[in-house]
Structure 1
Amino acid sequence: MKKLYNILFLFFLTTGISAQNLEKIAQEITDEGIMLYRSEMASWYGTDIFLANYKNRENIGGYFSYIDDGIPKCIFFSKSKRVIGTIAFPTNYKPENANIDLSERDFTSTENEYATIRHAALERVKKDTIFKYYNNTDFNLIPIIKKDVRKVYVLTGPKQNNIVLFGNDYLIDFNKKNEIKKVQRLHKSLITQKITDEKVGKTVSGIHSHILEDWPYMTPTDICTLMLYQNLTNWESYNVVNKKYLSIWNNKTNQLVIMLTDVVRKINDDQKNGHPENQNPDNNNIEK
C-alpha cells in the first residue's frame, strides 16, 4: 500500500495535476449534469401533464424548462409568444404533486431570457450543418442561465424503446446580448447501448470513449442521460475512457470520479505485482 501511495504522489508531482483539481472538475461536471437532468425531467413530465389538460393544440408554439429558485418548471407558450401553461414540480416529478397553471400571461423577464436563447439555438440547429440528424431520434434543447453564463445544450433522444443514446450532442454558448458566440460538439459520434441485449440479457453497465480534445472527461450530457434512464437500466456504474482520463459515474450515489489513466495503469500494475494470481491472462479481458 505504501508503494501505491508513492506511485500516486510521484505521478501527481511530475504532471502538476492534483487530485483536488480533478475533484473540482468532477464536481462542476456533476452539478451541471444534475441541472440538465432536473430541467429535462420537468420537460418530460411537464409535456405529458400539459397536453392532458390543454385542449387547443393548434395554439401551442413551443416550450422550455428551467430551474426557478430551486423549483423545476416547464413553460409552454403560444405561437404569439405568450405563456399558456406553467407546470411546476416543487417536491418531486409525480404528476399528482405538480402545480398546474393554464392561465395566459406575458413572459417574466427571466423566462424571456430563456425563451430568447432557446429560440436562437433552435434556429441555429435548423441551419448549421454541424448538427447531424439520425433516424428515430429527436433533438432536445436545454437552456441554462447562471449569472452571466448563457448556453443551450442540444441532446439527441431516442424515439425507440430499449436503447440509451450518448453523443451527437452539442453546446451553444451565448454572450450577454444573447448572441451565439460558439457552437461545439461534445462527442464525435452517436453511441447506442441497449438496455436489454438479445445475447447477454439485461446489461449491467456500459462504457464509451472520448476522443475530442476539449471534452476528455465524462460530459454533463452523459450524466444527464444516465440519470434520466437510471430507473430503466438499473446500471450501478458507467465509465468514459479518454487517452488521459478515466471517468467513473456511480449511478447509486450520483457521484463522478475522474482519474488519470496513467495512474490507473500504475495501480493495476502494482496490484498485479502484489498478487501474482492476477497475472493470468484469462483475468485481464479489458475492453478496448
Structure 2
Amino acid sequence: MKHIFSLSFILISTLFLAQITKFTDAEIIKKLDSIKTEGNLLFSLESSSWQSTDLAQENKKIKANFGGYLTYKINDTVKTVILNKKNNLVIAEYSFKNASKKPIKENLSQRNLTLNENNLKNIRSKLILQLSDSKYEVTAPNGYSLNIITIPFEENYKNYLITGASESNIIPFGNDYLFITDKEGNIISNKKFHSRLIPAMTSMPEGGTVTMSTHSHLKTNPFISATDICTFKLYAPFTKLEEFSVYSPALGSYMIYNYKKDSLLIKSKDIK
C-alpha cells in the first residue's frame, strides 16, 4: 500500500532526511505551504485576466479600443482593468472574489488610472523593455505566449512570466520565470523555474484520456513551483485531470497537487 502524507502530517524517514541536507521537515512543510499560497494567488490573478479579457472582447465598443489590461488585488477582491489603445484611460473594470468565473461587479465607465494602476503599468512597460536583453533568455516557443503577473513584494514587485497555450489538449508547464523589480521596474534579480517548456498532453492521438501528468525538476530547483500550481489550475478544468505531480531528485520525493481539493501532498520515492 502506498503511503501519502498531507502537509500537516508529513513523516520523513531517516533515509529521506539524509537526502535533504538543506531542509528540515518543518522547513519543507513551511516551504510547500508558502508555494501553494503563492500558486493560488497567481491563479486568482491570471484567472481574472482571462475572464476579463474574454468579456472585453465580447463587447464591440471595448474591443475596438482595447489596448491592454492590468490585474491586481485589493483586500479580498481581484480587479482587472482594460486600458484604451493609448494606455492612458481605463475603459472597463471587472471585480472578482474567490477566483469566481463571473465578476461580482462590472464598471464600463471611462476613467483615469489610479496611482496604483499607473505604477503597475509603468513597471510592466519597463520590465518588457528589459526582457529583450538576451542575457535573460526569455523566449516563447511557436504557438505559445508569455503572460506577466505582477504582485507587490516587500518594497519591490514580483513579476512572474508563465506560458500560455491556445491548443485545448496541452497544459504548458515550464518556460516560466520570476523577475524581482524595484518600484521603477528595474530588474533586481531573476530566476527560471524550468529549463524548457514541458507541454503535458491531456489526450492521446488514438482518443485515449490522460489521467495523470508528471514532470521532474532539476536538483537546483527542488520544490514544486507556484507557477506549476497556477498553470495546472488554469488548464485542468478543461481536461479529465484532477492532479499532477513533480518529482524532485534533490528531495527524493514526489509532490502531488490536486486542484479540486487544493491539496499538496508529498510522497517519498522509496516508500511503497
TM-score (norm 2): 0.84
Q: What is residue 215 of structure 2 aligned with on the other side?
A: 208
Letter in 1 for 2:151: I
What residue identity is the alignment partner of 2:41?
M
Residues 182 and 10 of structure 1: is their aligned pair in 2 closer, same or farther, counting only changes over 3 Å? closer
SS at match of 2:190: strand
Q: 2:235 aligns with which of 225, 229, 238?
A: 229
Structure 2 counterpart SS, 1:202: coil
Q: Match for 1:117 among 113, 117, 123?
A: 123
CA contact (8 A) 2:44 2:98 kept: no
Distance 1:152 1:15, change over 3 A: closer
Gapped runs of 5+ residues in structure 1? 269-288
Instruction: Tell me: CA distance 1:130–1:68, structure 2 relative to 1, closer, same or farther (3 Å).
Output: same
TM-superposed deviation, 1:42: 0.5
Alignment counterpart, residue 87 of structure 1, candidates 89, 94, 100: 94
Q: Aligned pair in 2 of structure 1 residues 210, 110: CA closer, same or farther (>3 Å)?
A: same
Amino acid across the alignment from 1:248: I
Q: Which moved more, 1:233-242 or 1:66-75?
A: 233-242
Name the TM-score, length of structure 1 as normaliser: 0.80
1:22 aligns with 2:46: no
The letter of the residue matching 2:163 is T
Question: The residue matched to 1:204 in structure 2 has which SS?
Answer: coil
Residue matched to 2:159: 152
How far did 1:58 drift?
A: 5.0
Offset of residue 174 of structure 1: 0.8
Aligned to 1:189: 196
- Report the CA distance shift for 1:149/1:26 in structure 2 as closer, same or farther (over 3 A): farther
Cα distance, 1:52 vs. partner?
A: 2.0
Deviation by residue 1:231-252 (Cα, 9 ceiling, x = unmatched) = 1223232111121123221233
**Residue matched to 2:66:** 60
Going from structure 1 to structure 2, the CA distance change for 1:172 and 1:212 (only over 3 Å counts) comes to farther
Residues 1:256 and 2:261 aligned together = no
- Which structure is larger by alpha-carbon Rg, 1 or 2? 1
Residues 163-174 of structure 1 correspond to what in structure 2 (within 5 A)?
163-174=170-181
Shift of 1:60: 2.6
The count of residues paired between Structure 1 and Structure 2 equals 258
The higher relative CO (CA closer than 8 Å, separation ≥ 6) is in 2
Equivalent of 2:146 in 139, 148, 152: 139
Q: CA distance change for structure 1 residues 212 and 183 in 2, over 3 Å: closer, same or farther?
A: farther
TM-superposition CA deviations, 1:202-222 (whole Å, max 9, x none): 111111111161x22111110
Q: Which residue number corresponds to residue 7 of structure 2? A: none
Letter matched to residue 242 of structure 2: E
Q: 1:158: how far off? A: 0.8
In the other structure, the counterpart of 2:83 is: 77
Does structure 1 residue 39 correspond to structure 2 residue 45? Answer: yes
Distance 2:97 2:12 in 1: 48
The aligned counterpart of 1:274 is none
Match of 2:247 in 1: 241
Q: CA RMSD in A?
A: 2.6
Residue aligned with 1:139, SS: strand
1:29-65 Cα deviation digits (max 9, x unpaired): 0111001100111011101112222515453321121
Q: Secondary structure at the residue paired with 1:197?
A: coil
